[in-house]
Amino acid sequence: MQFKRTKRAVSGVLLLDKAHGISSNTALQQVKRLFQAEKAGHTGNLDPIATGLLPVCFGEATKFSHYLLDANKCYQARFKLGVTTTTGDIEGEILSQKPVEVTLDEVQQVLKRFVGPIQQIPPMYSALKHQGKALYTYARAGVDIYREPREVTIYKLTLDSFSGDELSVTVHCSKGTYIRVLGEDIGAALGCGAHMNALRRTETGSFKLSSAISLLQLEQMTPEQRDATLLPADCLLAGLQKVNLDSESAYYLQQGQSVWQAGLSEKGPVSLYGPEAVFLGLGEVTNEGKIAPKRLVLPAKNLTPSNP
């Protein structure tokens, strides 16, 4: 007879170093199984060929995961010049091949053209939806769907190395940036074409890859050690103004009511704390100067992961 493993009300944020060759969803399911978590979700998809930082939110932290989905990212990417593929990366079929006759100076000048706001056409091999189906399902069937160009921002584009037909860069960019498309566009600007053959995400918002843990490391830990790797849910709101409420205000806020608070500098989202610095959730300062509840966490006693 087989017994189901008991699911736990785990809450917090895991900084995972995703391995090569697995999808973000596969990595999520493996991590969720290790933690025996009731609820989990990742924040920002990485293709199977990509590695690096994949923050995973558990339980109450999933209420604030959009802050990481909307956050700026940093990547280390390697492009192969002279070859274009159907997918824009190493997994696709070769479309064209041209000799690479570009100089270091030409590469540096072209890279400058891609810093700042730029337009990108989302790739067909992507999870974007058209009439309820992912674009890659159309691409695999040989159907091309028109995609509107989108504006993204490249804040910094650094040349790490250039040798022969390989180009390595570090990219600091806004949400929604396709690094594969960036590589293709750089290759087109150089006149030889290009595709991406390696990608590693090193930053998401304020989180760094240096703090991430691999799946292999997690598998070798005890349940207690795994729980100790989780960051508290409020780390996702670290960039917001913090507001400390007294017990009475905290009580009414948790009943769904707006409350007054002196000393608020400006309207907008705020992270809320009750007595003894207990995290309450996300609020918003209204035009009237009140704090309205937006997304609140469950009572604190339910937030601490319990060992099986």
Q: Measured between alpha carbons, how far is 191 from 142 in angstroms, rounded to an integer?
A: 26
User: What would the pLDDT profile of 166-184 be if each residue is shown by its tens digit?
Assistant: 999 999 999 999 999 999 9
Q: Are 230 and 13 in contact (CB under 8 A)?
A: yes
Is the CB of residue 6 less than 8 Å from the CB of residue 308? yes
| The predicted structure's pLDDT at residue 301 | 40
Residues labelled as active-site residues: 47
Can 73-204 and 240-297 be said to share one CATH topology? no
Q: State the Cα–Cα distance between residues 162 and 107, nearest whole angstrom.
A: 8
For residue range 37-55, what is the model confidence (pLDDT) as tens digits?
A: 999 998 888 989 999 999 9
Question: How high is the pLDDT of residue 5?
Answer: 65
* CATH tag for 73-204 (out of 3.90.330.10, 3.30.70.1560, 3.30.2350.10, 3.20.20.300): 3.30.2350.10
- Kindly give the confidence (pLDDT) of every residue in the chain, 308 residues in length, as a single tens digit, with 9 standing for 90 and above: 454 568 888 999 999 999 999 999 999 999 999 999 999 998 888 989 999 999 999 999 999 998 888 899 999 999 999 999 999 999 999 999 999 999 999 999 999 999 999 999 988 777 777 777 777 788 787 777 888 899 999 999 999 999 999 999 999 999 999 999 999 999 999 999 999 999 999 999 999 999 999 999 999 999 999 999 999 999 999 889 899 999 999 999 999 999 988 777 678 899 999 999 999 999 999 888 889 999 999 864 433 333 33
* Residue boundaries of the structural domains of the chain: 12-70+206-234, 73-204, 240-297
Could you give phi then psi for residue 171, rounded to 5 degrees?
-120, 120
pTM of the model: 0.89
Query: How confident is the model at residue 1, as a pLDDT?
Result: 43
Buried b (16+ CB within 10 A) or exposed e, 41-76: ebbbebbbbbbbbbbbbbbbbbbbbebbbebebbbb
Q: Are 201 and 53 in contact (CB under 8 A)?
A: yes
Lookup result for tokens 């100067």: 289
Give the pLDDT of residue 299: 60
Superfamily of domain 240-297: PUA domain (2.30.130.10)
Q: Return the CATH number of 12-70+206-234, one of 3.40.50.720, 3.30.1330.10, 3.40.50.280, 3.30.2350.10.
A: 3.30.2350.10
- Which residues sit opposite 77 in a β-bridge? 169, 199
Separation of CA 58 from chain center: 15
